[in-house]
């Protein structure tokens, strides 16, 4: 994607700032800076951003107040509360919470025109793939590189990792976007109905076939078909899918002539395809025909650093759907989110946050997590808050920040050791491999 103007993001809530940064990067703008509360006017003017995004609450930052007076910087303000001093200000774009990503993208485009700039034309459209991990960034790059082609795509990954979202993103960013996108769950169609559902039938093909009925492949002509859990198809149906892939032709039930379609096929499975082939559940020739481009979706337990971004995204999504004001999840619930391995992956996390918003109460989700043996961390958990170094950038040197963080880690380790040993200092010293005298000195130093 094309790099363009630098965007400064100044967030009252660190996790929300990371979420906004993730969205901005997907708008094709890679040059972004997420700043802390120590942002000064001198630092702001030195950076000279082409656009500044301020996420704020009732208290406006001094930098934002001064920038509004100068009227020399394009500014977007995001706030849950109405702020009369800025809501009617014509020199900025005011966005309320909950905020739809598409609205933010549009607002950025409007503000950038003030600097004779624009959102890059090669940006991806919705749905946006949330996450800042290396694997997710790589998946977004693959989507961008293949979306304008007709290459067949095979999506692998556990249930709930977002394979359907990636399939839709490929379609929505392709030249087929104005044509149908049909998602077919191969496991949910009875085997006796599969052939007629996918390929249709001709009048008189069997008792009750009073007229021609088009199949999904006909309906999706010139568009995209997403075959989810393709290994659930009987081998005979897999053979017809293979023919449609190779020749663009298939035979409806009772048809004398083949039907021709122009389709892009995206397939998915949550199982290991090589094992499926060994078990005789997946045709090898179909697998290699599908395996032109392969995308493997990582499980949520291997990208837990993205949980905070999903939290912000799903809170906004369901507050918009249910017409609710955004809520702040408790530190206890956030800690439990991080301690859970999410066997249902992103879908399970989404459903948990959805229930919190719909019920306006965390108790149901807390109780469910407790039943699964998940508890709040006894030590400090930074999820839901900004990292220790966030507010120190620009105020302390790198060496001073490192020393401060080292002391915090040391304090947390001693606290954990004391918790595990139920306050027995000798056992804590032994567990940490330090002398008894040293642990006593540290306990006194940190007032533990």
- Among 37, 49, 41, CA closest to 6: 49
Q: How far, in Å, are 30, 141, 150, 240 from residue 261 at the CA level?
A: 39, 29, 13, 13
CATH architecture classification, 7-115: 3-Layer(aba) Sandwich (3.40)
Q: In the predicted model, is pLDDT for residue 2 greater than 50?
A: no
Domain assignments of the chain as residue spans, ordered by start: 7-115, 134-296, 303-371, 396-445
Strand partners, 93: 76
Greater model confidence, 16 or 257:
16
**Nearest residue to 228 (alpha-carbon basis) of 279, 153, 142, 173:** 153
d(CA 291, CA 276): 14
* More confident of the two residues 401 and 96: 96
Task: Average the pLDDT over 424-438 and give the result.
Answer: 84
Pick the CATH number of 134-296 from 2.40.30.10, 3.40.190.10, 3.20.20.210, 3.40.50.300: 3.40.50.300
Does the pLDDT at position 384 exceed 50?
no
Residue 151 has pLDDT above 50, yes or no: yes
How far apart CA 99 and CA 382 sit, in angstroms, is 24
For 383, 408, 411, the CA distances from 404, given in Å and listed in that order, are 19, 6, 11
Number of Cβ atoms within 10 Å of the Cβ of 87: 12
Q: Round the average pLDDT of the chain to a whole number and report it.
A: 83
Tell me how far apart the alpha carbons of residues 181 and 100 are, in angstroms, rounded to a whole number.
22
Q: How confident is the model at residue 372 (pLDDT cuts 50, 70, 90)?
A: confident
Segment 408-419 shows an average pLDDT of: 78
> What is the share, in percent, of the chain residues with pLDDT greater than 90?
29
The predicted structure's pLDDT at residue 122:
67
DSSP SS3 for 188: helix
CATH number of 303-371: 1.10.8.60
The answer to whether domain 7-115 and domain 134-296 are alike in fold is yes
Say which residue, 179 or 204, is predicted with more confidence.
179
Residue 311 near residue 360, CB atoms below 8 Å: no
Average pLDDT over residues 252-265: 79
Region 330-356: mean pLDDT is 92
Parallel, antiparallel, or unpaired for β 75-79 and 51-56?
Answer: parallel
Alpha-carbon distances of 218 from 78, 102, 174, 250, rounded to whole Å: 45, 32, 19, 10
Give the 3-state DSSP-derived string for 26-69, with helices as H, strands as E and coil as C: HCCCCCEEEECCCCCHHHHHHHCCCEEEEEECCCCCHHHHHHHH
Say if strands 153-156 and 259-260 run parallel, antiparallel, or are unpaired: unpaired
Query: What's the confidence (pLDDT) of residue 284?
Result: 92
CA angle at 183 for the pair 178 and 187, rounded to the nearest 5°: 170
**Alpha-carbon 93 to chain mean position:** 25
Is the model's pLDDT at 380 over the cut of 70?
Answer: no
Q: What CATH number is given for 396-445 in this structure?
A: 1.10.10
Which of the four pLDDT bands, split at 50, 70 and 90, describes residue 4? very low
The 10 Å Cβ neighbour count of residue 19 is: 27
Mean pLDDT across the stretch 112-133?
79
Sign of the Cα torsion 22, 25, 159, 261 reads: positive
Tens-digit pLDDT profile for residues 32-80: 888 777 778 888 888 788 888 988 876 777 888 888 777 777 888 888 8
Nearest CA to 128 out of 9, 22, 265, 6 is that of: 22
Answer yes or no: is pLDDT of 439 > 70.
Answer: yes
| Strands of the 7-11 sheet, one edge to the other | 32-35, 7-11, 51-56, 75-79, 92-96
């Amino acid at each position: 994607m094309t790099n363009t103007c630098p965007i400064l993001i100044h967030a009252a809530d660190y996790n929300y700032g990371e979420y906004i940064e993730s969205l901005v990067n997907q708008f094709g703008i890679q040059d972004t800076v997420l700043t802390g509360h120590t942002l000064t006017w001198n630092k702001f003017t030195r950076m000279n951003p082409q656009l500044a995004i301020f996420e704020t609450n009732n208290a406006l930052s001094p930098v934002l107040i001064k920038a509004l007076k100068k009227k020399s910087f394009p500014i977007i303000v995001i706030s849950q509360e109405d702020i009369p001093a800025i809501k009617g200000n014509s020199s900025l774009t005011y966005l309320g919470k909950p905020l739809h990503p598409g609205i933010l993208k549009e607002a950025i485009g409007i503000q950038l025109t003030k600097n004779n700039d624009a959102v890059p034309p090669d940006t991806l459209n919705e749905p946006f793939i949330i996450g800042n991990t290396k694997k997710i960034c790589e998946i977004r790059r693959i989507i961008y590189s293949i979306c304008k082609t007709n290459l067949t795509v095979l999506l692998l990954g556990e249930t709930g990792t977002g394979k359907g979202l990636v399939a839709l993103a490929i379609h929505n960013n392709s030249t087929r976007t104005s044509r149908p996108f049909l998602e077919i769950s191969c496991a949910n169609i009875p085997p006796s109905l599969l052939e007629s559902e996918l390929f249709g039938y001709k009048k008189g093909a069997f008792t009750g076939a009073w007229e021609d009925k088009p199949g999904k492949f006909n309906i999706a002509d010139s568009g995209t078909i997403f075959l989810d859990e393709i290994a659930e198809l009987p081998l005979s149906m897999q053979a017809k899918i293979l023919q449609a892939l190779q020749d663009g032709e298939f035979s409806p039930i009772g048809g004398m002539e083949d039907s021709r379609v122009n389709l892009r096929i995206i397939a998915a499975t949550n199982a290991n395809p090589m094992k499926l082939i060994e078990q005789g559940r997946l045709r090898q020739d179909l697998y290699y025909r599908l395996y032109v481009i392969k995308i493997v979706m990582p499980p949520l337990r291997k990208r837990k650093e993205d949980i905070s971004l999903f939290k912000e995204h799903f809170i906004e999504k369901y507050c918009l759907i249910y017409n609710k004001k955004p809520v702040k999840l408790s530190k206890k619930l956030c800690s439990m989110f991080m301690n859970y391995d999410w066997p249902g992956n992103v879908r399970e996390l989404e459903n948990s946050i959805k229930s919190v918003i719909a019920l306006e109460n965390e108790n149901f989700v807390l109780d469910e997590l407790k039943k699964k043996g998940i508890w709040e961390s006894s030590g400090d958990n930074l999820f839901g808050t900004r990292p220790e170094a966030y507010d120190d950038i620009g105020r302390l040197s790198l060496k001073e920040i490192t020393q401060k963080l080292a002391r915090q880690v040391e304090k947390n380790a001693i606290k954990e050791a004391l918790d595990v040993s139920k306050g027995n200092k000798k056992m804590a010293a032994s567990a940490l491999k330090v002398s008894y005298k040293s642990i006593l000195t540290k306990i006194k130093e940190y007032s533990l």
